[in-house]
Amino acid sequence: MTVITGVPNHPAGAVFEGFRNAWIQEEEVDGIRVIRTWMFLAANAGFAKRILNYVLFGVTALIASGRVSKPDLVVATTPQFFCGLSGALIARLKRRPFVLEVRDLWPKSIVELGQLKPGLILRTLEGLENWLYSSATGIVVNTRAFIEHITARGYPREKIELVYNGIDHRQFKPRPPAESLIAANDLEGKTSVAYIGTLGLAHGLESVIDAAQTLQKEPDITFLLIGDGAERGKLEESIAERGIKNIKLLGLQPREKMPDWIASIDILLVCLKDLPVFETVIPSKIFEFLAQERPVIVSARGEIRRMTEEAGAGWTIDPEDPQALAECIMAVIRNPEEAQQRAKAGRLWIEREFVRDTLAMRMLTFMQEIVRGAK
pLDDT at 108: 79
Domain positions in the chain: 2-166+356-374, 179-353
16 Cβ contact list (under 8 Å, min separation 6): 7, 8, 9
Contact 317, 298 (CB under 8 A): yes
* pLDDT for position 122: 82
Amino acid at 38: W
Is 259 in contact with 315 (CB distance < 8 Å)?
Answer: no
H runs (alpha helix) in 29-78:
47-64
Asked whether this chain's domains 2-166+356-374 and 179-353 adopt the same fold, the reply is: yes
Distance, in Å, from the CA atom of 286 to the CA atom of 291, rounded to the nearest integer, reads 8
pTM of the model: 0.86
Q: In the prediction, which pLDDT does 333 show?
A: 97
**Domain 179-353, classified CATH 3.40.50.2000, yes or no:** yes
Instruction: Say what the pLDDT of residue 246 is.
Output: 97
- 128 burial (CB, 10 Å; 0-12 / 13-18 / 19+) is middle
pLDDT of residue 45: 63
Distance between start and end Cα atoms, the chain: 19
What pLDDT is recorded for position 111?
77
Are 329 and 307 in contact, with CB atoms under 8 Å apart? no
The closest alpha carbon to 141, from 350, 371, 362, belongs to: 362
Do 142 and 374 meet the contact criterion of CB atoms below 8 Å apart? no
- How much is the pLDDT for 80? 77
**Spans of the chain below 50 pLDDT:** none
pLDDT for 369 equals 96
* pLDDT score for 177: 97
Superfamily of domain 2-166+356-374: Glycogen Phosphorylase B; (3.40.50.2000)
DSSP H or E segment with residue 291: helix 285-291
Q: What does the pLDDT read at residue 357?
A: 94
CA dihedral 201, 322, 297, 248 (to 10 degrees): 70
Beta bridge partners of 77: 101
- Burial of 296 (C-beta count, 10 Å sphere; 0-12/13-18/19+): buried
Output the pLDDT for position 212.
Answer: 98
Contact between 305 and 323 under an 8 Å Cβ cutoff? The reply is no
* Cβ-based neighbours of 194, under 8 Å, separated by 6 or more: 223, 224, 225, 226, 261, 265, 267, 268, 269
| pLDDT for the residue numbered 124 | 87
Contact 142, 103 (CB under 8 A): yes
The DSSP code for 129 is H
DSSP 3-state of 101: strand
Between CA 67 and CA 290 the distance in angstroms is 41
